[in-house]
């Protein structure tokens, strides 16, 4: 599978790119800057033995990919996606975006007019198959390829088939379980939870994640 | 410790009352109806060997307790708390309330003008020490006293001392870890998460809970 990671130069996008490359997928790092994209692709190739990782500007990266990840700050999601509407039509687009603010009281989730970053992405990309996942994974844990990641990935998405594609991809990261979180209207709970986890990280000086308890083993598809 | 559970006739409140009675605390079940309160207290005494559980109308239950739990439907939180403002002054009040709606698309978190049920409770009870916790525990698991509960309890509250009191209480339930979730502004993430867990319960036909991964062991106070 050929996976583009738009915003793949950021910590979280880079970590996801490394893990997917490590799982044998072909990666294209996308960025507004061709140079920064290539520097990140070089980091992916250095981290994962035999990694197939190239780089491109966002539009070119999106064009050739089967699945497109969006891992940019919230404020950049709309400007990144709007020009790619036609390019992304029919593709699975996974937004990792969390609307956050960092004020005096600590990290907090920001209100999004559409209800969540995922619903905003779907409103922009009405012809794409939008999913939302991977918000709660620590970027640093993702980049430590020698260790499994102790976190579940709750996947929301427009339809069951789209969610299952992303659930399978999540499960390709050692330690991670992909869980069907339902339609995109449920994404805000998963996005918002990130603010709580970041606050816990500060309080307990660690990198937190979440597990859902009580699920059947194995989790039925 | 003498604990009142207002709305202790509901499934969740009853489960909490059983667990706290089982941990050796003295329980007063509060309800609008003296008869229903007594029936629930009888269930607590039947479930937990040696349980000290009595019953009273809400106001009387609140009056004599050291800690007061509020476990009522969201619509009943304000009418329950407003008349008790003076009675609850200076006490630790723990709201378990989750603002939920159950529409065609499944359970969803409702928007609260104050930002969350916990912030609403604090706005009403400005002289109480309000905390918010226990939203994500399955009522059925709570009531099965022969089994530990596989869930963390994230505790938000007005100050550190109040949170620590509730964290210690949470940890008195076998299997449960109490985690410091910070000020009440963080409660909405924990409250809202309940909607996602209820949706997962339906999808996977189970009772889900959450664990926070990556915390130090033991969790520092």
Mutation for A interface: B167, B186, B192, B202, most A CBs within 10 A: B186
Q: Which residues 32-51 of chain A have a CB within 8 Å of chain B?
A: none
| A185 touches B at CB < 8 Å | yes
Q: Collect the ranges in chain A with pLDDT lower than 50.
A: none
Q: Give every CB contact of residue B104 below 8 A, 6+ residues apart in sequence.
A: none
CA distance A203 to B183: 12
What residue of A is the nearest CA neighbor of B180? A200
Q: In this predicted structure, which of B41-45, B121-125, B215-219 has the lowest mean pLDDT? A: B215-219
Number of H helices and E strands in chain A, helices first, is 8, 11
Q: Does residue B164 have a pLDDT over 90?
A: yes
Place of tokens 């550190």: B160
CA distance B178 to B154: 6
| A101 touches B at CB < 8 Å | no
Q: Considering only CA atoms, which of B136, B113, B120 is closest in space to residue B189?
A: B136
Give the DSSP per-residue string, B170-187.
Answer: HHTSTT-EEEEEESGGGH
CB contact under 8 A, A196 and B211: no
Reduced to 3 states, what is the DSSP secondary structure of residue A66? Answer: coil
Chain B residues close to A198, C-beta within 8 Å: none
Q: B12-25 pLDDT, tens per residue?
A: 999 999 999 999 99
The predicted model scores a pTM of 0.96
Query: Two tokens at A55?
Result: 């780089």
CA atoms within 13 A on the CB side of B204: 24
Tell me the mean pLDDT in the region B162-169: 98
The pLDDT of residue B159: 97
CB contact under 8 A, A182 and B193: no
Tell me the mean pLDDT in the region B122-149: 97
Q: Does residue B221 have a pLDDT over 90?
A: no
Closest Cα in chain A, distance from residue B203 (Å): 8
The pLDDT of residue A106: 94
User: Cα B80 to chain center, whole Å?
Assistant: 15
The pLDDT of residue A141: 95
Q: Considering only CA atoms, which of A111, A58, A112 is closest in space to residue A85?
A: A58
Residue from the list A106, A150, A203 with its beta carbon closest to the beta carbon of B214: A150
ipTM > 0.90 for the complex: yes
Q: Considering only CA atoms, which of A22, A30, A108, A20 is closest in space to residue A63?
A: A30
Residue from the list B141, B186, B214 with its beta carbon closest to the beta carbon of A207: B214
Q: B29-65 pLDDT, tens per residue?
A: 999 999 999 999 999 999 998 999 999 999 999 999 9
Burial class (CB within 10 angstroms; exposed 0-12, middle 13-18, buried 19+) of A19:
buried
CB B8 within 8 Å of CB B37: yes
Closest Cα in chain B, distance from residue A178 (Å): 13
Q: Give every CB contact of residue B36 below 8 A, 6+ residues apart in sequence.
A: B9
| B151 touches A at CB < 8 Å | yes
Burial class (CB within 10 angstroms; exposed 0-12, middle 13-18, buried 19+) of A219:
middle
CA distance A82 to A98: 18
Chain A residues close to B104, C-beta within 8 Å: none
CA distance B190 to B179: 12
Phi-psi region of A192 (alpha: psi -120 to 50; beta: other; left: phi over 0): alpha
The pLDDT of residue B220: 87
Count of C-beta atoms within a 10 Å radius of residue A60? 16
């Amino acid at each position: 599978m050929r996976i583009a990671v738009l915003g793949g130069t950021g910590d979280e996008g880079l970590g996801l790119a490394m893990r997917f490359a490590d799982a044998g997928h072909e990666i294209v790092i996308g960025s507004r800057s061709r140079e920064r994209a290539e520097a990140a692709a070089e980091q992916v190739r250095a981290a994962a033995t035999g990694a197939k990782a190239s780089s491109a500007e966002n539009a070119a990266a999106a064009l050739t990919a089967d699945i497109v990840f969006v891992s940019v700050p919230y404020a950049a999601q709309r400007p990144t996606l709007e020009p790619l509407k036609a390019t992304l039509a029919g593709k699975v687009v996974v937004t990792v975006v969390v609307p956050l603010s960092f004020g005096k009281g600590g990290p907090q989730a920001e209100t999004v007019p559409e209800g969540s970053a995922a619903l905003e992405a779907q409103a922009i990309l009405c012809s794409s198959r939008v999913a939302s996942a991977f918000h709660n994974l620590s970027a640093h844990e993702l980049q430590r390829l020698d260790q499994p990641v102790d976190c579940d990935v709750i996947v929301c998405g427009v339809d069951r088939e789209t969610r299952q594609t992303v659930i399978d991809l999540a499960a390709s990261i050692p330690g991670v379980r992909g869980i069907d979180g339902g339609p995109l209207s449920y994404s805000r709970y998963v996005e918002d939870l990130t603010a709580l986890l970041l606050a816990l990280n500060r309080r307990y000086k660690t990198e937190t994640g979440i597990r859902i308890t009580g699920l059947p083993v194995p989790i039925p598809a």
